[in-house]
Chains A and B, each alone.
Chain A
């Protein structure tokens, strides 16, 4: 099987629209190191995650040590060094969702899609993650499929909901 070229081998082109977005943000923030988190947000929005090459790029542009960038990225839950998958499924595990059975939703997904939190399907189509609380507690249990919040989720509906939203095949 032909292996996909690793992103680490690639050179970031300044004409890449995703790189351009990061550059625009950096310029707006005057290349200030204290805007690092803001810039990382932009980078993750354009790439879906934070590839090493992008971190290396940010390090050079902001003139900060790589350790500063890497330690910040790994500290915050929001940032991911791995691809989260083309489609994402996020299950809220906050207190209200916990009381109302978020665990059962997770085990349903594990059964149907063989995914545990933090994992992505082999074809990179679907990724599963959990959130500490998305603030939809009045509508617990909640999950987010591709940025759309689903309220009062019933475990038995999860499979169809994910299938119809993402088009992923099991």
Chain B
């Protein structure tokens, strides 16, 4: 396929799609599938057929729409009516009232059970209204297993643009101009990373897509890979063109079978159309992608460990420098970007770095996808401009804490992050602000806790995680996490003393300063942030012990 063919195909598919009056999307993300959406999809297809609506209605199995908690979700376009908790029994009624009687069933609309009056057009609902979707724009509206659906929505247009209208330097300049920063958590400027890899001269370079979403409580990358795999693929190819690599690896967690399946299908479809492989779209540029399935090791999210894992070895990190940009996969210059970063590339190329840089805050441009979960009314996947306050995210979008309980903390950054307490709800969520509060942006998991959570136990939970996931290569992390875990368990079980807190604080510094990689360096974060904001809970646990000691002492003296 050459450039013209791509355009012809897009136009033909667009005309074909326009023939239909309605499009009904059934969410087939992993969340909604577990709530039974595949059966709903089948039933809906039958229903449309028996009513003879095949020429008016296009039924699309789509990716994640966002409010996972309310699934299975069904979206009717162009009305933008979203129905929640749809099942095989009520789907017929939805078709009848929405499409034939033109009167939506209010009781089944999204958030009908929790809002005084649900919105007929879901875009007006605060859950969606406050969001700004760039990465997730097509997620939930297209069939991820149909490349045509993506091409209709300007898919592969950015790749076409860079291949025929831009030099590598221009692509890198555009990304630099956008001020996009790595969405894996550390926030390193993407354009500078690309430029570094570009500058090294080598016979072979690689692009790696980091889809080893190891943070517990995060599912952004899964949803993007499941809902719009072609966007990531296109981002990888553009990155390859920019840095001068013709081979890419997508490292995806083994825990995400659906994401792997869809990404595999996407590679196959793109290869068939000549959008991947030799001489893409008739240009001199060739690019190929292989999938590597992760085998369950959190540390493999660290770039040097991930490289070791792709090479088929134990996923242990190595000291940097040399950075992967200089010596990465098989000793060659390697660019590693997170799924979300790569999914942001095509829109930046299409609309320009200037446009992107104006979204968000001066230091953190663009949007960020968050996975809202825990004690929150509307859990799910959201995308907001950087700099939105935590309060807006939790209360306006997420609908607050359920069951009349009080918001206690928001945990960001998983085991490498920290807890943000109530008094900082008005913090603007961007890279720097979260660091100043002792947490990190992380990959985007946002777990809300209510007043029933014991924060010392939360610290223990994360320390147990880091202890288990420590690869064992360097001593500070291997031994330090175990010691901190033991001390935290001791305090949790009411046998701690004030000395233990001192010991914890001391150890935290050692582990933070002396560990080899990010896992160890950030492992004390959940402990330090809970100590900072919830020290009284630590003291309360210790008091339990004092009471016990006093009681025991009393009994001895009386006896």
Contacts and interface: CB of A to CB of B under 8 A. Distances in A.
Interface in A91-142: 93-96, 98-100, 131-140, 142
B217 A137 contact: yes
B150 interface: no
A138 B69 contact: yes
A32 B310 CA distance: 12
Interface of A: 32-38, 40-41, 68, 71-72, 75-79, 93-96, 98-100, 131-140, 142, 148-151
B217 A139 contact: no
Among A40, A78, A133, A134, chain B packs the most CB atoms within 10 A around the CB of A133
A78 B33 CA distance: 23
B292 A38 contact: yes
Given A138-B219, A138-B379, A142-B34, A77 B295 contact: yes
B163 interface: no
Given A79-B295, A100-B374, A139 B309 contact: no
B478 interface: no
B255 A134 contact: yes
A95 B214 CA distance: 11
B213 interface: yes
A93 B469 CA distance: 14
B28 interface: no
B147 interface: no
A139 B29 CA distance: 12
Contact of B373 (A34, A77, A138): A138
A65 B315 CA distance: 18
A133 B218 contact: yes
B35 A151 contact: yes
A95 B371 CA distance: 12
B312 A131 contact: no
Contacts of A99: 373-375, 447-449, 453
Given A72-B313, A99-B375, A132-B214, A150 B297 contact: no
Contact of A34 (B34, B312, B316): B312
B535 interface: no
Contact of A37 (B34, B219, B292, B447): B292
Contact of A138 (B68, B253, B256, B469): B68
B519 to A, nearest CB: 13
Given A78-B254, A95-B374, A99-B447, A133 B296 contact: no
Nearest to A137: B373
A117 B428 CA distance: 40
Nearest to A62: B312
B293 A41 contact: yes
A97 to B, nearest CB: 8
Given A96-B373, A133-B217, 11 more contacts: A34-B312, A35-B312, A37-B312, A41-B295, A95-B462, A98-B216, A133-B218, A133-B219, A136-B68, A138-B69, A151-B35
Among A99, A132, A137, A140, chain B packs the most CB atoms within 10 A around the CB of A137
B216 A95 contact: yes
Given A99-B447, A99-B453, A149-B30, A135 B293 contact: no
B68 A94 contact: no
Nearest to B259: A135
Interface string B190-216: 000000000000000000000001111
B380 to A, nearest CB: 5
Interface in B275-297: 292-297
A138 B380 contact: yes
Among A32, A34, A94, A96, chain B packs the most CB atoms within 10 A around the CB of A96
B341 interface: no
A99 B292 CA distance: 31
B414 interface: yes
B381 interface: yes
A83 to B, nearest CB: 18
Contacts of A32: 312
A133 B216 contact: yes
Among A37, A78, A148, chain B packs the most CB atoms within 10 A around the CB of A37
Nearest to A42: B293
B395 interface: no
A131 B255 contact: yes
Interface string B306-321: 0001111111100000
A44 to B, nearest CB: 9
A33 B312 contact: yes
B184 interface: no
Given A40-B295, A72-B314, A135 B449 contact: no
Contact of B222 (A38, A94, A135, A148): A135
25 contacts: A37-B293, A37-B295, A40-B295, A75-B314, A75-B316, A76-B296, A76-B297, A95-B216, A95-B462, A99-B448, A99-B453, A132-B298, A133-B215, A133-B217, A133-B219, A135-B213, A136-B34, A137-B371, A137-B379, A138-B67, A138-B68, A142-B34, A149-B33, A151-B31, A151-B34
Nearest to B453: A99
B465 interface: yes
B10 to A, nearest CB: 32
Contact of B217 (A37, A75, A76, A96): A96
Contacts of B61: none
Contact of B254 (A41, A71, A75): A41
B372 interface: yes
B255 A36 contact: no
A22 to B, nearest CB: 15
